[in-house]
Amino acid sequence: MKTHKIIILLTSLAMSGQALAWGQNGHRITGAIAEKYLSPKALAAVQQLLPNEDLAEASTYPDEMKSNPTEFWKKTASPWHYVTITDGHTYHKDNAPEEGDAITALKQFTLTLKDPKASLADKQLALRFIVHIIGDLHQPMHVGSGKDRGGNDVKLQFFWKDSNLHSVWDSGLIEQRELSYSEWTDWLSKKISPAQAKQWMVTEPQVWMSESATIRDTVYPATDKLSYDYLYENMPIVKQRLQMGGVRIAAYLNAIFTQ
């Protein structure tokens, strides 16, 4: 019943307007779904910027580069994968930390992608980050409450292995199904109706974050040992967030490349 109510809430919201976020497969799924909803103009622009790289590959770049020893990747870009909403479900830009967050980064990379004077390398980085950040903001634990590092401090066992709540939502729930990202993409894409895609074409980050914060508050478990019951209850939410994230990556890029 709780899952059903949350999905209804997500649809209603869409109609109105620390660690990795999603694991590698989660990001690839959103990137691959996004490509199916790109406008011809946006698709051409993406292919021109990344001629040998699809959005599934591009989506994981900001996480893969975390091992790069430069200050940019070790320090500067580190806060750009999440936001903190401590009061209610509304993000206030004035409360963004000095080092920035996913929203400040999304805004800056959007400006870069629109800038005719920006270099090819800068635009490529901007595109990869935009795809990644939008995926991040659809992972509920990446819209943190400011109390437990997005669930990283919530230690538990997931299918009898030590983990934490953030990791469970990044990858545990997805990887437990033992599907490739292409299998996930195929199955999830087939289940997105034209009406749903239209409803989900929301380009306002505040809507995405509000949805994630609403979900975040409901997924803290009553026990520290999670297995099939938790998977059963939350998998419909995971699937819909992946679907919505993919559709919205496309919607966001379509809006950028029509200007």
Separation between Cα atoms, residue 47 and residue 51, nearest integer Å: 5
> H helices within 191-221, ranges in order?
194-200, 205-216
Residue 18 has pLDDT above 80, yes or no: no
Residue 121's domain is classified under what CATH number? 1.10.575.10
Residue 186: alpha-carbon gap to chain centroid? 18
Task: For residue 109, give the nearest of 90, 127, 131 by alpha carbon.
Answer: 127
Question: Stretch 202-218: mean pLDDT, rounded?
Answer: 94
Structural domains counted in the chain: 1
Predicted pLDDT of residue 192 = 98
**Which of 206-220 are b and which e, b meaning 16 or more Cβ less than 10 Å from the residue's Cβ?**
ebbbbbbbbbbeebe
Predicted pLDDT of residue 14 = 37
Residue 28 has pLDDT above 90, yes or no: yes
Least confident residue range of 76-90, 99-113, 170-184: 76-90
Separation between Cα atoms, residue 32 and residue 72, nearest integer Å: 27
Residue 9 has pLDDT above 80, yes or no: no
Domain that holds residue 205: 2-257
DSSP conformation class of 169: I
pLDDT band at 221; cut points 50, 70, 90:
very high
Separation between Cα atoms, residue 133 and residue 113, nearest integer Å: 14
Q: Does pTM top 0.85 for this prediction? A: yes
Residue 2 has pLDDT above 80, yes or no: no
Output the average pLDDT for the chain: 89
Dihedral angle sign, alpha carbons of residues 19, 146, 212, 101: negative
Residue 209 has pLDDT above 70, yes or no: yes
pLDDT band at 259; cut points 50, 70, 90:
low
Least confident residue range of 9-13, 102-106, 222-226: 9-13
Residue 251 has pLDDT above 90, yes or no: yes
> How would you classify the pairing of strands 155-158 and 143-144?
unpaired
Dihedral angle sign, alpha carbons of residues 87, 92, 98, 99: positive
